[in-house]
Structure 1
Amino acid sequence: MPVKIILSLLFGVLLGLSWPTAGFTPLLFVAFVPLLWLIERTKNDGFWAFSSRVFLGFFVWNAIATWWLWNATVFGMFFAMIVNSSLMTLVVLLWRRVDRKLGKKAGFIFLPLAWICFEKLHLNWDFSWPWLNLGNGFAANPDWIQWYEYTGVLGGTLWIWMVNISLYQTIEHYLVNKKPGKKLIQPLALIFIPLGLSFFIKNQFPLKTEKTLKVTVVQPNIDPYTKKYDQTNQEQYELLLEQIGTELSKKPNVIVTPETYFSQGVGTNLSLIEESKLYQDLLIVAKSNNTQLLNGIQFYEAFAENDRTKTANKLNNGIWADFYNSAFLTDSTGVHVYHKSKLVVGVETLPFRNIVEPLLGNVMLDFGGTILTRATQEEREAFPLYNDIKISPVICYESVYGEFVTGYVRNGAEVLAIMTNDAWWGDTAGHKQHMAYASLRAIETRRSVVRAANTGISGFITPLGEVSEKLAYNTKGVLTAAVYPQSAMTLYVRYGDYIFRLGGFVAGLMILFSLSRRKN
């Protein structure tokens, strides 16, 4: 097998084997060395030969880390892998141009900054799929990245690239001079200084506060493919009472159910929720036990054609409707509602809908419930509880988006409640990775995370990103624990992805200079 193909496969395999939760995380610090070796020695090859080898390595990484998408959608899996690998390859092609025009040193400055721009794009565009953003790779090792409260996951991305580039330069220096010399100090320092800083920050953080919040999370363990969407709201209500019965004696302040816990038919009429039998029954249970219930639900709003919104779906007889993946909190003063606003591509939202829908019609994937696009809302919500503590519902896929989640905290959230249904992927790495990513949100915001997942993993995560208690996957159960609300705002909550804004500015200037200069 040609050396170039071996290098391509090697960096892909190393990245795949480094990924949480079963991966060996230190491989992240060496995984890109074969890629750097490959692109430095083949940068003058033809476009297709160069780009195909780079694409192959990235595709291998995507396949190893996200193969579990197969359980939900075969087409979606291949589409995500191909698009993701292509975008990653594009970053390296841009590096090749900068390297040729501005030189090797400039190229090594540009590469991590351009990669950060790619990751930021993947957090915000219509085909958003940030699952493999490099900073997520440390999710299973929260002790290593306590400084994410200052940088967010993009700080982890920058860390990985800096170590890999430094290590590559050290190896290159050794091959020329036959001894590593002082060059070896640099990559070692780049690894161990952030690690030491992380442990220092962890030991200084005041984990407990004067206020406490007792939370019960519910894990119903209902198969979404065969049973969940066939049950009525009344049946779900009765199952809920059965599950939480023994926990009520522990006097929880709030009880949290998973995403779309109530999902009868096409959903519940949003405008009638307060008058509905479901809400009134839940309110009676809440009042009699001095608690509140934070529930996942599907809502809809119907419109006449002249009154329809931009996000409405066309139904029969001239009726249009918005559908929502929502959360609602029982409150004696009035219901609180939030609509999920980071939607799963192809399942809840149609990318570039204005272009695609007229050409292809409704091509949404069927994952139970309605096969229609969902509507969203602009602002994040922080629901007030009776004890003057604010809790925010973070619904499923939203928990993968760091800067997005900071919006809840800026609006007053003292505790984050992730409500999700990870059953689509089965007992694979998918649900484990999603659980691990919740630890990143805890560190970035310094908020306790309570997690209610349909089939698991439900549990509690401290502001240090450590899982304190959890329920096993594919089991039915409830769990009650006290968490400590936090009110201080981290640097990352205040300023978000400033690393992208700074790095993107520099990378943009470098691209402009490369377009204006002759070959170096």
Structure 2
Amino acid sequence: MVIERLKEWKGWQLAILSGVLLGLSFPPLKLGFLAWFGFLPLLRALLRERLIRGALLSFFAGLVTNGLALHWLIFNIGAPLHITTASLVAASLYLSIFWGLFGFVFLWLHSRIGAGLVLMPCLWVGLEFLMSLGPVGFPWVSLATTQTDYLPVIQLAEWTGIFGISFWLVSLNSILYDLFIVPRSHRLFLLREVSLVLASIWLIGYVRLATLSNDDQSKRVTVSVVQPNIGPHEKWRPENRDEVFAQLDSLYLIAADSQPALIIWPEAATPAFLTKNQRRLAQVRNRIRQTGIPLLTGTVDWGLSDRKRHYYNSVALIHEEGEIPIYHKNQLVPLGEFNPFVRQLPASEDLNLGHYARGKKMTIFELGETSFASIICFESVFPRLVRRLTLEGAEFLVVVVNDGWYGKTAEPYQHEAIVRLRAVEHRYPVVRSANTGISAIIDKSGREVATIGLEEAGVITASIIPAKGETLYNRLGDWIVFLAFLSLMHIGVRHWRAANS
């Protein structure tokens, strides 16, 4: 048996093997099935170690997983190599702390009450949730992302969000490990259990896809997405600004030929503070006046507060006249758009680790009788932020993005895959406009209706059907995380009482 052969491997070798399997399961390699058994070598290593050494091995496995999944951080063309290398190391180390904690608590549960494998899914989901919190939260590497190539599997997100998919994956790993270590007489039962866990999620997904109701066709809205494919450095050079606006205008006119209800430009599309630059704003509004089609565009913006000028990464809905509704990005990129350590380390302000201020309000845009929300780039990996916007009335979601900093690496593929999960969670369309790709129009099942590939300029147009996002996940949020913590607390209290009785 495979597990028997792994007995000869050293703990650090098993940790590396798990890290490689799980790291390679992330897009774009289409190897998501590796996550179905990727924890097995690590479990083999943990269950023969003591608490501290087990925690270190788990930390090491996390370091390999995160290093592989996030290797693209080192290719950021917006920063020198020593900064991008430091960001990869820092992100991997930070996220691996949660892996180390997983190994420690797992072994404690196993050694004290023999419930490590049983509670392993609850423990993992709880730690994944904690990984997503705070100003340096980073749910990008949720195990759910590994399954985005399997459309039936991700339908689970409608009820449980991403943490339910992670719970299913870790449960599968736990049962598989049990299958390999129990006596032969018990293996038939566990084999049936593994088959049931694996097959049920696919069957439920296929049935759900087949039974998704047809929405109210009278609410159909046509949208056009523009992908200009302009390098992030070239855009802001003074000699290129007129050319950039000319290209955006040309693509706007191509999109207008399809007579959509809305045309979308990507994150920071214009090399100007568009809402403050009257000349550029007049150019845009003149074009909108000619076509009658409003424009949603990413733009940098500024505002005064406490007698200081604060800069924002924003998205604005522009009509031919009138007030311009605008959304300022709420969830900024740590060490890219803001410095989370500037208060503790004032000297770090000189390192230029980000200069944007955080927006504090949610914005719901109106488009005729339809309401929608728009978020910016990194924000799309935070399901709770999208849920808040949906509860406030958004009937579809627009994501404006600039992944051009990372070129043809794994980053834009992973980023686009994550957005598909948002569509399933709320059963409404998601429209993604990226500067250099991947732009996509995604339906409520998470299926791509239209796309533009990496480093291509173009326009895609499709009809979408807005929806209220009335799913179980939308109503109850991360209820599965609450149950996971409740289960862990219940077992902990029972053990404490037994130890003190």
SS in 1 for 2:47: helix
Which deviates more, 347-356 or 252-261?
Answer: 347-356
Question: Structure 2: which 5+ residue stretches go unaligned?
Answer: 1-7, 77-83
Query: Could you tell me whether the CA contact under 8 Å between 2:318 and 2:324 is conserved in 1?
Result: yes
Q: Distance in 2 between matches of 1:424 and 1:125?
A: 24
Q: Give the 5 Å matches for 1:66-465.
A: 66-72=70-76, 73-101=84-112, 103-105=113-115, 107-173=116-182, 176-177=183-184, 180-210=187-217, 211-224=219-232, 226-231=233-238, 235-264=243-272, 267=273, 272=276, 276-303=278-305, 307-308=306-307, 320-331=308-319, 332-356=321-345, 358-365=346-353, 371-379=354-362, 381-385=363-367, 387-465=368-446
| Alignment correspondent of 1:17 | 24
- Whichever residue aligns with residue 300 of structure 1, its letter is W
Q: 2-side partners of 1:506 and 1:351: how far apart?
A: 33
Number of residue-to-residue matches in the alignment: 484
1:6-61 Cα shifts (integer Å, max 9, x gaps) = 3212211111222222132222111111111211122x37x2x3333222222221
In terms of mean alpha carbon deviation, does 29-38 or 501-510 score higher?
501-510
Deviation at 1:479, TM superposition (A): 1.6
- 1:220 maps to a residue whose letter is P
Letter in structure 2 aligned against 1:166: I
1:416 to partner: Cα distance: 1.1
**Partner of 1:317 in structure 2?**
none
Structure 1 unaligned residues grouped into runs of 5+:
309-319, 366-370
When structure 1 is superposed on structure 2, of 395-404 and 133-142 the one drifting more is: 133-142
Aligned partners of 1:498, 1:285: CA distance in 2, in Å?
A: 47
| RMSD of equivalent CA atoms | 2.3
In the alignment, residue 484 of structure 2 is paired with which amino acid?
G
Distance in 1 (CA, whole Å) between partners of 2:490 and 2:469 is 36
- Where relative contact order (Cα < 8 A, 6+ residues apart) is larger, the structure is 1
8 Å Cα contact 1:258-1:419 kept in structure 2? yes
What is the rounded CA distance, in whole Å, between the counterparts of 2:419 and 2:388 in structure 1? 16
Contact 1:150-1:491 at 8 Å conserved across structures: yes
The 1:121–1:480 alpha-carbon spacing in structure 2 relative to 1, beyond 3 Å, is same
Counterpart of 2:451 (choices 441, 456, 470) is 470
Deviation at 1:3, TM superposition (A): 2.9
CA offset at residue 359 of structure 1? 4.8
Query: What is the Cα deviation at residue 233 of structure 1?
Result: 6.2
Offset of residue 517 of structure 1: 6.4
Give the C-alpha shift of residue 222 in structure 1.
1.2
Partner in structure 1 of residue 470 of structure 2: 489
Question: Is the contact between residue 269 and residue 299 of structure 2 (CA under 8 Å) also seen in structure 1?
Answer: yes
State the 1:509 CA deviation.
Answer: 4.2
Q: Determine whether 1:30 maps to 2:37.
A: yes
Counterpart secondary structure, 1:301: strand
- Worse overlay, 321-330 or 56-65: 56-65
Question: Given that residues 382 and 391 in structure 1 are in contact (C-alpha distance below 8 angstroms), is that contact kept between their aligned partners in structure 2?
Answer: yes
1:493 deviates by 1.2
The percent identity for this pair of structures is 27
- Secondary structure of 1:246's aligned partner: helix
- TM-score, normalisation: structure 1: 0.88
Distance of 1:184 and 1:350 partners within structure 2: 50
Q: What is the CA distance between 1:244 and its match in structure 2?
A: 2.2
**Contact 1:348 1:364 (8 Å CA) reproduced:** no
Shift of 1:135: 1.6
- Say if 1:58 and 1:344 are closer, same or farther in 2 by CA, change over 3 A: same
Alignment CA distance shift 1:53-1:515 (3 Å):
same
SS in 1 for 2:344: helix
Distance in 2 separating the partners of 1:290 and 1:450: 21
Rounded to whole Å, the distance in 2 between the matches of 1:513 and 1:91 is 20
Return the match for 1:52 from 45, 50, 56: 56
Which deviations, in whole Å up to 9, do the C-alpha atoms of 1:333-378 show, x marking residues without a partner?
421100111111111122254323x35334343xxxxx41322123
- 3-state SS of paired residue (2:54): helix
